[in-house]
């Protein structure tokens, strides 16, 4: 496994801090780290609310990347509440596919850090509607 995956795992683990922000909002159950095309690493955590106003960790990390002037993703890693890595949800996949039009097939996603299982976004999102 490439060293960048260890860096992404450690970056996500460093920000994963499950906590209640209020009676209606919790954060940090899921944490994500993404590597941009420049090689910079961006992180984010999920923010869960009692309504649909929350955000996934992966999109939070992508918004962090966009806020910092970048818009191309190379790799994505998300750590779930149980400490294992897993695939981004459908909304996150859709956002990545729209952001990386014509190149989303190249985005690598860590499915299982323990076994080193990596797939590309097109494997998780076949026959994308656009």
Quote the Cα angle for 1-99-82, to 5°.
45
Cα 112 to Cα 8, 38, 58, 78: the distances in Å are 13, 24, 16, 10
Verdict on whether the full-model pTM lies above 0.85 = yes
One digit per residue, the tens of pLDDT, for the chain of length 130 reads 899 999 999 999 999 999 999 999 999 999 999 999 999 999 999 999 998 899 999 999 999 999 999 999 999 999 999 999 999 999 999 999 999 998 999 999 999 999 999 999 999 988 777 6
**For residue 29, which of 66, 55, 67, 62 has the smallest C-alpha distance?**
55
């Amino acid at each position: 496994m490439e060293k960048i995956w260890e860096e992404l795992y450690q970056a996500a683990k460093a920000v994963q801090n499950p906590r209640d922000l209020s009676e209606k909002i919790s954060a940090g159950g899921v944490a994500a780290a993404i590597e941009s095309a420049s090689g910079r690493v961006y992180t984010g955590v999920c923010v869960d609310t009692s309504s649909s106003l929350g955000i996934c960790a992966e999109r939070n990390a992508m918004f962090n990347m966009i806020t910092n002037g970048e818009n191309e993703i190379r790799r994505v890693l998300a750590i779930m509440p149980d400490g294992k890595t897993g695939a981004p949800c459908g909304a996150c996949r859709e956002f990545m596919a729209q952001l990386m039009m014509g190149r989303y097939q190249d985005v690598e996603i860590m499915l299982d850090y323990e076994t080193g299982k990596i797939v590309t976004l097109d494997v998780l999102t076949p026959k994308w509607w656009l």
